[in-house]
Chains A and B, each alone.
Chain A
């Protein structure tokens, strides 16, 4: 599961899609299906979490001297 944390949302979604399709095709042996299912549920949780965790969001601006600093729009303006 450690490397799943390193997956991007896009990769996780693609993997999830592949797994769902494989499982829906129905030709998978049961043991394999179970491990697909487990992996799929992990991926689904991962995607879900990535979408839920908004706190990582940053709005920054590159200053003239090449620094990256936080930026906020002045709502009064």
Chain B
């Protein structure tokens, strides 16, 4: 412990101060709060405390910064401050060294600004859909600003450095004071009437809020909105926001930045052109070498190397097919000859001679059958006839007559069955079995009853 090296208060404070100064978050910071304990020295430097409900910080504003201020700070006033934090070594207190201070929420200009901003925003003038695209390679850049200010110098030198092939056309305008707004509006209109302006830079260098006020005027905002040429606003410093910035197609933090946004860098373009040229050459080389490879591949292909192979196979195929054709043809003709023979035989069998012979056979056969049948029938009938004859024989009246009966016929040949059929002296013929007797009737006696 005894050997421990003890810091002096000065060294410690210096160390702490260095910590503060090295911290980027503590430089150029924006703080808002209420002023209290306000004192202004005869030197012009201001000392006060900035506070809110829960904390406070000492503040110093040197006269070099406070001189350009348009208002006089008072206790209880709410302010917006920009400054750096550092340590005041003699008292060991950290303080804010104020560079800019403006009243918060008060002031006509501020109010007017807020109201106009709100109104135009509601009207849609700030909408992204109305923002025109900036040309990539403008040939002529129009610049609306004071021809004598720092802004024009920044714009011209930046454009010349980056993109010397662009033309610059300056539309001189008053950029502050009463005449500022109408002058800027007139120049915007003039630029739009002028053919061939590709992009417009409208702006001015830094200044107080009053000096920048031209770009918070409604007429300027509407002229920017109405412009057919894309407009880049470039008003004051990075921290200054004007209505013109909101309505412009592009907002640049400074005139230099506006020039950078307006034109590309010629070296980038040159690089782009060369890059494309290189790509073009490479693509073409690749194309050619690809085609070359393709060609070589084809050259080396089987067909080109062994052209005979292409038709050798075909020859073989032809041989095979011919062979098979011959074989099949003879086979077919054999089959057909066989078929023909079969048919011829069948035809032979169907020859008319054959038919005739068959018919004859059949005829004689049938004739025989007919004869046989006929003689059968005949002998049958013969038998029947003989039988009948025998019967007839048996029944013959001649036989009866042999037994003593006779038949008497009249002269006219009629069989006499009744006595009344004859009269006296009629010639009658009496038939006997072995002859006839011709008689003359002597008388006729008719017997009564039978017999």
Q: Are B287 and A61 in contact (CB under 8 A)?
A: no
Closest Cβ neighbor of B279 among chain A residues: A20
Q: Are A59 and B168 in contact (CB under 8 A)?
A: yes
Segment 17-35 of A: residues with Cβ below 8 Å from B:
17, 19-20, 23-24, 26, 28, 30, 33-34
Question: 0/1 per residue, B289-328, Cβ < 8 Å to A?
Answer: 0110000000000000000000000000000000000000
Q: Are B290 and A48 in contact (CB under 8 A)?
A: no
Q: Are A62 and B139 in contact (CB under 8 A)?
A: no
In the assembled complex, B257 has its CB within 8 A of some CB on chain A: no
Q: From known contacts A44-B277, A73-B153, infer whether A61 and B169 are also in contact, taking CB-CB under 8 Å.
A: yes
The stretch among B30-38, B268-276, B414-422 that forms the contact with chain A is: B268-276
In the assembled complex, B147 has its CB within 8 A of some CB on chain A: yes
Q: Are B280 and A37 in contact (CB under 8 A)?
A: yes
Closest Cβ neighbor of A23 among chain B residues: B283
Chain A: interface size category: 35 or more
Is chain B's interface secondary structure helix, strand, loop, or mixed overall? helix
Q: From known contacts A30-B287, A71-B147, infer whether A44 and B169 are also in contact, taking CB-CB under 8 Å.
A: no
Q: From known contacts A8-B139, A41-B277, infer whether A23 and B287 are also in contact, taking CB-CB under 8 Å.
A: yes
Closest Cβ neighbor of A16 among chain B residues: B276
Using Cβ atoms and an 8 Å threshold, which residues of chain A touch B284? 23, 33-34, 37
Q: Are B170 and A60 in contact (CB under 8 A)?
A: yes
Using Cβ atoms and an 8 Å threshold, which residues of chain A touch B157? 73
CA A57 – CA B139 in complex, angstroms? 9
In the assembled complex, A6 has its CB within 8 A of some CB on chain B: no
Q: Are B290 and A26 in contact (CB under 8 A)?
A: yes
CA A9 – CA B135 in complex, angstroms? 11
Chain A interface residues toward B at CB < 8 A = 8-10, 13, 16-17, 19-20, 23-24, 26, 28, 30, 33-34, 37, 40-41, 44, 47-48, 50-51, 53-54, 56-62, 64, 68, 71, 73, 77
